[in-house]
């Protein structure tokens, strides 16, 4: 809702005849009755970012911003994203799928502690737990299992975290994220004023370009397009490791894509307009 309100205001500031449309049971009726020319998707997570809305809009022949059905569906599923990245020869942290209690011990033994336990199909760090002791594994698995999707444990990467915003398939300046929380969780992402965002990120130019290229390659490999965000950790031992790819990132006062765009000289209203332009390409 915060993203939608900010985007709607920016579109109207740019002179676009736009209206907010919240997704409910009457969504199809409202889309077909509204005689809209195109849709700026501002929905995060399941139902808005996972390919289902993109499929509906494709069926209705309504152009929309950002990735299509395939890229959206892949990126919403962190586990399949990791497998696809591995197949493309791109670096991602080691992981173990957890299907039952027996897998908990195996995950700890293979990956070592700490690990991050994640539901595969959620965003915004929802359902994630940093596990530092063996006795914490079961509770973390049960929490993640409550989201009706695959669960996996991922090795803990003790290095700096960067995010690469993508606009028109090209990376913007990197942002380095620093938080005093256990990890960059929901509270730190959306509400905490203690989370620090460094842009410029402080890396030498060639190192920043290298991470940007990793992000661009990952975005392309999973079939994403238009705009998005790639999150990367840099391990002192293994180098850059891709955590996940977001196809509808936040556009709020705490959000990272507007911050990176501003560093590249693009204000919020112009950024929203440029994202709208991603709806103007060919659609099936």
Q: Per-residue pLDDT tens for 52-111?
A: 999 999 999 999 999 999 999 999 999 999 999 999 999 999 999 999 988 998 898 999
Q: Contact 173/264 with Cβ under 8 angstroms?
A: yes
Q: Is the pLDDT of residue 191 over 60?
A: no
CA atoms within 13 A on the CB side of 113: 13
SS3 21: coil
Give percent of the chain above pLDDT 70. 93
Q: What is the pLDDT of residue 90?
A: 98
- Cα 48 to Cα 280: distance, rounded to the nearest angstrom: 19
Angle (deg, nearest 10), helices 78-87 and 205-221: 110
Average pLDDT estimate for 215-240: 96
Q: What is the pLDDT of residue 180?
A: 72
Q: Contact 199/263 with Cβ under 8 angstroms?
A: yes
Q: What is the pLDDT of residue 244?
A: 94
- Cα 191 to Cα 119: distance, rounded to the nearest angstrom: 22
Q: Is the pLDDT of residue 194 over 90?
A: no
Q: Return mean pLDDT, the chain.
A: 91
Q: What is the pLDDT of residue 97?
A: 96
SS3 172: coil
Burial class (CB in 10 A: 0-12, 13-18, 19+), 237: exposed
Please state, as a whole number, how many other Cβ atoms lie within 10 Å of the Cβ of residue 39. 21
- Cα 40 to Cα 271: distance, rounded to the nearest angstrom: 12
User: Residue with structure tokens 């307009």?
Assistant: 273
Q: What is the pLDDT of residue 126?
A: 80
- Cα 224 to Cα 167: distance, rounded to the nearest angstrom: 11
Q: What is the pLDDT of residue 147?
A: 84
Q: Contact 78/244 with Cβ under 8 angstroms?
A: yes
CA 27, chain centre distance (Å)? 24
Q: What is the pLDDT of residue 284?
A: 45
Average pLDDT estimate for 196-202: 94
DSSP 204-248: -HHHHHHHHHHHHHHHHHTT--SEEEEEEEEETTTEEEEEEEESS
Residue 248's nearest CA partner among 28, 27, 23 is: 23
Q: What is the pLDDT of residue 192?
A: 53
Q: Provide the strand spans (E) within 99-187.
A: 115-119, 129-131, 151-155, 161-167, 170-171, 175-178
Q: What is the pLDDT of residue 252?
A: 86
- Cα 250 to Cα 2: distance, rounded to the nearest angstrom: 9
Joined together, the tokens standing for residue 121 give 């199909």
Measure Cα distances from 204 to 97, 207, 210, 232 in Å: 36, 5, 10, 17
Is the pLDDT higher at 259 or at 148?
259
Please state, as a whole number, how many other Cβ atoms lie within 10 Å of the Cβ of residue 12. 15
Q: What is the pLDDT of residue 34?
A: 81
Q: Contact 280/22 with Cβ under 8 angstroms?
A: no
């Amino acid at each position: 809702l915060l993203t939608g309100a900010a985007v709607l205001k920016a579109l109207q500031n740019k002179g676009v005849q736009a209206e907010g449309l919240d997704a409910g049971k009457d969504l199809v009726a409202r889309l077909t009755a509204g005689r809209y020319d195109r849709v700026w998707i501002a929905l995060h997570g399941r139902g808005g970012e996972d390919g289902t809305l993109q499929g509906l809009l494709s069926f209705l022949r309504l152009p929309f911003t950002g990735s299509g059905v395939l890229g959206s569906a892949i990126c919403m599923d962190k586990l399949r994203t990791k497998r696809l990245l591995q197949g493309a020869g791109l670096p991602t942290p080691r992981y173990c799928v957890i299907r039952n209690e027996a897998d908990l011990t195996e995950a700890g033994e293979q990956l070592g502690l700490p690990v991050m336990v994640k539901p595969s199909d959620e965003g915004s760090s929802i359902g994630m737990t940093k596990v530092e002791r063996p006795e914490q594994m079961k509770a973390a698995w049960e929490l993640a299992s409550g989201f009706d999707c695959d669960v996996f444990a991922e090795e803990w990467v003790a290095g700096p975290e960067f995010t690469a915003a993508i606009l028109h398939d090209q990376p913007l300046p990197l942002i380095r994220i620093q938080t005093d929380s256990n990890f960059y969780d929901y509270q730190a992402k959306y509400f905490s004023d203690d989370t620090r965002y460094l842009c410029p990120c402080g890396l030498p130019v060639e190192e920043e370009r290298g991470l940007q290229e990793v992000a661009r390659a990952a975005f392309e490999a999973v079939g994403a397009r238009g705009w998005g965000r790639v999150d990367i950790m840099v391990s002192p031992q293994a180098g850059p490791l891709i955590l996940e790819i977001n196809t509808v990132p936040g556009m709020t006062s705490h959000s990272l894509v507007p911050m990176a765009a501003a560093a590249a000289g693009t204000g919020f209203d112009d950024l929203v307009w440029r994202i709208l332009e991603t709806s103007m390409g060919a659609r099936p």
